[in-house]
Amino acid sequence: MPSTLVIYNPSAGGGRVRKQRAQVEIALRAAGVAFDAVETGAPLEAMYLAQEAAQRYDPIVSVGGDGTLHEIVNGALRASGENETTTLGLIPLGNGDDFAKMIPPEASIGGKPYDWRAAVQKIARGQTKLFDAGRMVGDDLHSDLAGEAHYFLNAMNVGFGAHAVLNLSSTPKFLRGMPGYLAAVLKTLVDYPDVHLRIQIDDLPPFEQPTTLTAITNGRCFGGGFWVCPQARADDGLLDLMVGDRVSRFRILQLIPKFTRGTHVREPEAHLYQARRVVIESGSPLVVEADGEIIYLEARRLEVELLPKKVRMIV
């Protein structure tokens, strides 16, 4: 039996995976990679596949976007009991592919993820590195994973960004990557919630404030190229936190170009922190997004902590 399992999400990237699957498999075989393959057909299926396969395959390769990798990481960490995972690989063919920008050699701010052909060569070489992950528990009893830990590899957020992801599902399919995210952002500008949070960072005294966007990141960017925490590193043993003040729609439009360059960090509305554990509480229900996926729709309390160097990935 081949030691490599390739998990395809055929709908990722607006159907790019489905269109390019044959080319990917030809390239893998040409590079000397023997593999089994499976295709997902429903939400969370990649998570359950990875969880079941973790004891039999090394590596498990994600072919899709950040959401596909997100599910596979969740399955791998469940299988390992939050210890070091089986090796994971990534062939980025999604809309945003934000975590691919974190894999060495690191892209500069505004840079693009590596090409899928380069990813095939990485998998053939098999060089690996350990990355941190975030662990999140929310109190949303309506979630598919209510009461269970949920993991993210790149970032999670509440407020404007989470609602933009909700709106992304209704944007035209031909808008991929940054154009699609910008269309979702513009739609979100019409109606987005005022969020008031109570935030506790590690053992420091908690503070309260209204916010348009609050994000906890392991990586440097999300949303297809918004460099929310541009100094973050996914292997430094720390989460990065960006708490944005509540701002007007006009100010959001002014800030969007700055987020795509990472220069928003010099603006007075952006407050940056680092932490190993963050607790977020809200008097009203929160939509919570992680790695491009909506995790909770009605959370009022989130406990987020770092799992240092638990995810082994091919680089």
Give yes or no: residues 182 and 215 share one domain. yes
Q: Is residue 150 part of a domain?
A: yes
In whole numbers, what is the pLDDT of the chain averaged over residues?
A: 92
Cβ 304 vs Cβ 135: under 8 Å:
yes
Q: Is residue 313 part of a domain?
A: no
Q: Is residue 100 part of a domain?
A: yes
Give yes or no: residues 73 and 145 share one domain. no
Q: What is the pLDDT of residues 14-42, one digit of tens each?
A: 899 999 999 999 999 999 999 999 999 99
Give yes or no: residues 88 and 160 share one domain. no
Q: Which of 160, 41, 153 is nearest to 92 (CA)?
A: 153
pLDDT value of residue 186: 78
Question: Among the three residues 89, 109, 132, which one is the final residue of a domain in this structure?
Answer: 132
Question: Among the three residues 73, 107, 132, which one is the final residue of a domain in this structure?
Answer: 132
pLDDT value of residue 13: 87
Give yes or no: residues 31 and 20 share one domain. yes
Classify 90 as helix, strand or coil. Answer: strand
Q: Please tell me the distance from the alpha carbon of residue 216 to that of residue 314, in angstroms, as a whole number.
A: 24
Matching residue, tokens 């809309």: 95
Give yes or no: residues 57 and 157 share one domain. no
Q: What is the pLDDT of residues 181-229, one digit of tens each?
A: 777 777 888 888 789 999 999 999 999 999 999 999 999 999 888 999 9
Q: Please tell me the distance from the alpha carbon of residue 292 to that of residue 164, in angstroms, as a whole number.
A: 10
Question: Among the three residues 106, 132, 158, which one is the final residue of a domain in this structure?
Answer: 132
pLDDT band of residue 167 (cuts 50, 70, 90) is: confident
Give me the mean pLDDT over the 59-71 stretch.
97
Q: Is residue 315 part of a domain?
A: no
Secondary structure letter of residue 102 according to DSSP: G
Cβ 65 vs Cβ 58: under 8 Å:
no
Q: Is residue 194 part of a domain?
A: yes
Give me the mean pLDDT over the 77-103 stretch.
94
pLDDT value of residue 105: 59
Give yes or no: residues 165 and 281 share one domain. yes
Q: Enter the pTM of the model.
A: 0.92
Give yes or no: residues 283 and 191 share one domain. yes
Cβ 223 vs Cβ 164: under 8 Å:
yes
Give yes or no: residues 230 and 188 share one domain. yes
Looking up residue 68, the CATH number of its domain turns out to be 3.40.50.10330
Residue 309 confidence (pLDDT) above 90: yes
Give me the mean pLDDT over the 247-263 stretch.
94
Secondary structure letter of residue 245 according to DSSP: E
pLDDT value of residue 312: 98
Classify 55 as helix, strand or coil. Answer: coil
Give yes or no: residues 77 and 192 share one domain. no
pLDDT value of residue 110: 66
Matching residue, tokens 């979100």: 188
pLDDT band of residue 95 (cuts 50, 70, 90) is: confident
Q: What is the pLDDT of residues 2-13, one digit of tens each?
A: 899 999 999 998
Considering only CA atoms, give the Rg of the chain.
Answer: 19
The amino acid that residue 148 corresponds to is: E
Its domain, for residue 280, covers 134-308
CA angle 133, 137, 140 (to 5 degrees): 140
Give yes or no: residues 118 and 157 share one domain. no
Of residues 147 and 35, more confidence is placed in: 35
Q: What phi and psi values does residue 117 have, to the nearest 5 degrees?
A: -65, -40
β-strand partners of 31: none
Show the tokens assigned to 313: 């990935």
Looking up residue 231, the CATH number of its domain turns out to be 2.60.200.40
What residues contact 103, with CB distance under 8 A and at least 6 apart?
Answer: 90, 114, 313, 315
Give yes or no: residues 119 and 210 share one domain. no
Show the tokens assigned to 225: 């190229």
Secondary structure letter of residue 222 according to DSSP: B
Of residues 95 and 74, more confidence is placed in: 74
Q: Is residue 156 part of a domain?
A: yes
Residue 171 confidence (pLDDT) above 70: no
Q: Please tell me the distance from the alpha carbon of residue 177 to that of residue 46, in angstroms, as a whole number.
A: 22
Give yes or no: residues 89 and 28 share one domain. yes
Give me the mean pLDDT over the 233-250 stretch.
96
Of residues 109 and 298, more confidence is placed in: 298
| Torsion angle of the four alpha carbons 102, 107, 111, 115, in this order, in degrees rounded to the nearest 10 | -80
Residue 281 confidence (pLDDT) above 80: yes
Q: Is residue 183 part of a domain?
A: yes
Cβ 278 vs Cβ 201: under 8 Å:
yes
Mean pLDDT is lowest, of 40-49, 97-106, 236-245, for 97-106
Q: Please tell me the distance from the alpha carbon of residue 227 to that of residue 287, in angstroms, as a whole number.
A: 21
